[in-house]
Amino acid sequence: MIVRNAAPEDAGAMAALLNAIIVLGGTTAHQHPKTEAQVRADYIDGPEALTCVVAEEDGQVIGFQAVGVWPGLPRGWGDIGTFVAPGVQAKGTGAALFAATCAAVRAKGLATLNATIRADNVPGLAYYGRIGFTDYARDPDWALEDGRKVGRVSRRFDL
C-alpha cells in the first residue's frame, strides 16, 4: 500500500469510492452522491480543504482521509473525514492514512482534530476510538433526511 498526498487527478477515483460508500449507507453522514468536481473542491484543493491523503493498492485508490475547516469549530481545529473501500476496512488502511494526516496537520499548526460520526456507525466509532479520538459531545436527535434519528458523536484528537 502507498499513502500519498491527494492530487486533483485523484478526484474521480475518490468520488467513485465515496459514492459506493454512500450507496451502501450506514457509515457516512453523506446522503447524496458527489461529483468529481465536488470531491476536488471539498477535499483536495477547495478553500476549506487543509490536507488530503489517499491510499493506493495496485494503482487503485482504496481510501482517503481529508481534513478541512468546519464552521463552528474553534480556531486551530480541523474536521477529519475518512473513507475506506468496503472489503479493505479494518486492515490497516485507516491507520496508515492517519499517520500521514497527523504529519500534515501538525505541519500546518493545527492543535486538534474533530470527527463527527453517526452514532449508528459502529465501524467508524471503533476506528476513531482505536486511533485515540475521545468523545466530547453528542447529538442524539440528529436525523437523516428521511427522518430517521441516528444521532451523532463528536470526538477529538489533540495533536
Q: Which residues contact 101 (CB under 8 A, 6 or more apart)?
A: 51, 53, 65, 67, 80
The pLDDT score that the predictor gives to residue 70 is 85
Read off the C-alpha cell for 38: 465536488
Q: 77-93, pLDDT tens digit by residue?
A: 999 999 998 877 667 89
At 100, which helix (H) or strand (E)? helix 93-107
The predicted model scores a pTM of 0.91
Alpha carbon distance 142, 128 (integer Å): 19
At 123, which helix (H) or strand (E)? helix 122-130
Q: 82-132, pLDDT tens digit by residue?
A: 999 887 766 789 999 999 999 999 999 999 999 999 898 888 999 999 999
Give bridge partners of residue 77 from the DSSP assignment.
112
Grid look-up 488530503 returns 52
Domains and CATH numbers, the chain: 2-112 (3.40.630.30)
